[in-house]
Homo-oligomer: A and B are copies of this chain.
Amino acid sequence: MIALMKRDLQLALRSGGGFGLSLAFFLIVVMFVPFGVGPESAVLARIAPGILWIGALLSCLLSLDRIFQLDYEDGSLDLLATAPLPLEGIVAMKAVAHWLTTGLPLTVAAPVLGFLLNLPVEGYLWVFLSLAAGTPALSFLGTFGAAITVGLKRGGLLLSLLVLPLYIPTLIFGAQSVTRVVEGQSNSTAFAILAAISLFTFALIPFAAARALRVNIR
């Protein structure tokens, strides 16, 4: 189990810096917003929390299809399925490895990018906290989507399509946790629900994803 996670992290690092890439993508997406909507800092500050959350979510999305696809293609998944590991554990390990290589760096970097969008000062802490609480849910939900689409040749887009709707609650409560603070309101409900969603996905998703994998392998 630990071996699996070790290998996944190793592979992510070998193929040209797993950590760096999703970060760079995040940076660029955030940078694109002023190019698209214009440079006025009032507007940017207004939309900053939402944009940071959407950017983090999209960066997460982009690396999802690699969670199982490569293992499927080179036969590792078949072999893992016959190995003495519960498939649920494999799924959970994959999700954790994904979070470590994408969610975690995004969380750490988000406050810095908030800077570029003139995020009001009160927002920094909560951007960090809300992403720390919310990105694990993104990784777990994404793992589920990856498990469902693993057999498909051009599954990338379909995967996004399946996963994005699942991300909506996380996005709403995540962004609210920040905007409310910026607007001087209390964000405790939003944040509590966000954390609850994360815990809920940890408990539920490994079983659903393992089930989907079993269907796809045979």
Contact = CB atoms under 8 A, between A and B. Distances in A.
A15 B62 CA distance: 19
Interface residues of A, number: 48
Contacts of A65: 156
Interface string A32-57: 11011110000100110111011001
A70 B164 CA distance: 24
Nearest to A64: B156
A157 B47 contact: no
Give chain A's interface secondary structure class. helix
Contacts of A18: 154
Contacts of A15: 152-154
A72 interface: no
A164 B32 contact: yes
A25 B154 contact: no
Nearest to A179: B38
Contacts of A11: 154
Contact of A70 (B35, B50, B58, B153): B153
B175 A36 contact: yes
The CB with the most chain B CB atoms within 10 A, among A36, A62, A153, A164, is that of A36
Given A63-B157, A152-B15, A54 B36 contact: yes
A125 interface: no
Contacts of A36: 47, 49-51, 53-54, 171, 175
Q: Which 3 A-B pairs have the closest CB atoms?
A: A36-B50, A37-B50, A21-B157
